[in-house]
Chains A and B, each alone.
Chain A
Amino acid sequence: MIAANTGRMVKVEILRQDTTSGNGYWQKFEVPYRHGMNVISILMEIQKNPVTENGEKTTPVAWDMNCLEEVCGACSMVINGRPRQSCSTLVDQLTEPIKLEPMKTFPVIRDLQVDRERMFNALKKVKAWVPIDGTYDLGEGPRMPEGKRQWAYELSKCMTCGVCMEACPNVSEKASFIGPAPLSQVRLFNTHPTGAMIKDERLNAIMGDGGLANCGNSQNCVAACPKGIPLTTSIASLNRATTVQMFRNFFGSDHFVD
């Protein structure tokens, strides 16, 4: 990349942690400014020259990244107090010093790296997929109306980035709530014509411990979601679906999937 050295330095403060069980400590850095910098390019500069503001040599800061275009969800971190993707957060839009912290609602692996495994486990728990594997050819599924497809596409933009989990006051180590992202996936796959064939299984999964009912309606998730997914509408819609499912279960209805 061609970048003119403007002489300007960007002040950065990073909450570091050496091991999974270690204590966090703040370190300050100064990084030469380049036009159009994002937070990841700051971290790359530190990686090239891991020296603190005071000139002390340190270890390079560890972080996760992959796609660099806000679709993979790997590079989420807390930037100036808000959880967001470090790839799409531009330095020009931030106030200095830029403060970087890991999303501590998840176990911290090292520095800005977190373990989002609980989200992937939640997706397995709620069967966030369309079941098509059988011992025989299942043939074509039912058609999906175009309007519905376009609407469902918005829900499918979820990249399991964990921002909604970090923003939610009910997701933490002391609570078992599975969080907004996996819940919205239940709505997505219960909307899909083939996915809906096991919609009762998904609803019953989120009616278990730590499920849907643990939502406290703070609505931080929908405010924080980088993809603009209507998470709270999904949750309210699932609340209605589970109300019906609860009565079906109680009275032993045989209309479990229709």
Chain B
Amino acid sequence: MSKDREFLWRRLHSLLGVIPVGLFLVFHLSLNFTAVGGEQAYNDATGVMELVPHSLLLLIEWVVIYIPLLFHAFYGVYIAFTATPNTGRFSTYRNWMFSLQRFTGVFLVIFIAWHIFQTRIQKALGTDVNFNMMEEIVANPFMLGFYIVGILSATFHLTNGLWAFLVSWGITQSPQSQKIATYVTNILFVILSVVGVAAILAFV
């Protein structure tokens, strides 16, 4: 990395976490939520994706998901491991959020790598991605637990990251505005978590 580029890398990391990675997560969890309506509803909703020409879909996947996500993940791991968490000495709410943001971030690198291997790469190898596939995956109670923790980590990391995004770009400055942003992002966390967990439980 060239000299004095750290500011731009950090800002890019913050931006990409929200747009497009965060927006994609909201879209992804919403699409999953159709599983609550049953097997047919889910297969119909995900089937719409098949209507997009394959080459265009691949392009969108790389530009909107893989490249931003890879940068966010690897730069994020670097950020996480240059921190020295000290919640033992400073057990304030924000300091816990600081540590959890880094902990969930590192966990999500593992979870998402596994998740992509188990679904997207299997699809590329010729397996059908549909309701049955997820049903088989979460039939294993260990996998179900792993997915629930993964979903909650993702919704936390996004909503808490959104709070940090608002500070990092200078949108929320005063303690009061940051407190209001805490409430709003916490409500968002609950909504996204309910959507995400309800979706995965629909496959059980």
Q: Are A and B part of the same complex?
A: yes
Measured in the bound complex, the distance between the Cα atoms of B89 and A218 in whole Å is: 13
Name the residue on A nearest B93 (C-beta): A219
Task: Name which residue of chain B comes closest to A78, CB basis.
Answer: B89
Contact B178 A236 (CB under 8 A): yes
Contacts of A239 in B (CB 8 A): 167-170, 173
Q: Which of A214, A219, A241 contacts B94 (CB 8 A)?
A: A219
How far, in Å, is B81 (CB) from chain A's closest CB?
A: 8
Q: Report the count of interface residues on B (CB-CB < 8 A).
A: 36
Report the Cα distance A187→B196, complex, angstroms: 42
Residues on the A chain within 8 Å of B174, using CB: 233, 236
CB pair B90–A167 under 8 Å, yes or no, is yes
Among B8, B164, B170, the residue within 8 A (CB) of A217 is B164
Q: For the complex, give the distance between the alpha carbons of A102 and B172 in Å.
A: 35
Decide if A210 touches B6 in the complex (CB within 8 Å).
yes
Within the assembled complex, what's the spacing in Å between the Cα atoms of A103 and B85?
15
CB-contact partner of A216 in B6, B8, B83, B89, under 8 A: B83
Which A residues touch B95, using CB under 8 A?
169, 218-220
Q: Give the one of A174, A175, A213 with max B CB within 10 A.
A: A213
Q: What is the CA–CA distance of A216 and B79 in the complex, to the nearest angstrom? A: 9
Contacts of B167 in A (CB 8 A): 217, 235-236, 239
User: Which residues in A have some Cβ–Cβ distance to B below 8 Å?
Assistant: 81-82, 167, 169-170, 172, 174-175, 207-220, 223-224, 230, 232-233, 235-243, 246
Q: Which 7 A-B pairs have the closest CB atoms?
A: A240-B170, A218-B98, A213-B10, A239-B170, A219-B94, A236-B173, A207-B7
A-B contacts, 10 of them at CB < 8 A, read A82-B89, A167-B86, A170-B84, A210-B6, A211-B7, A215-B168, A217-B98, A218-B98, A233-B175, A239-B173
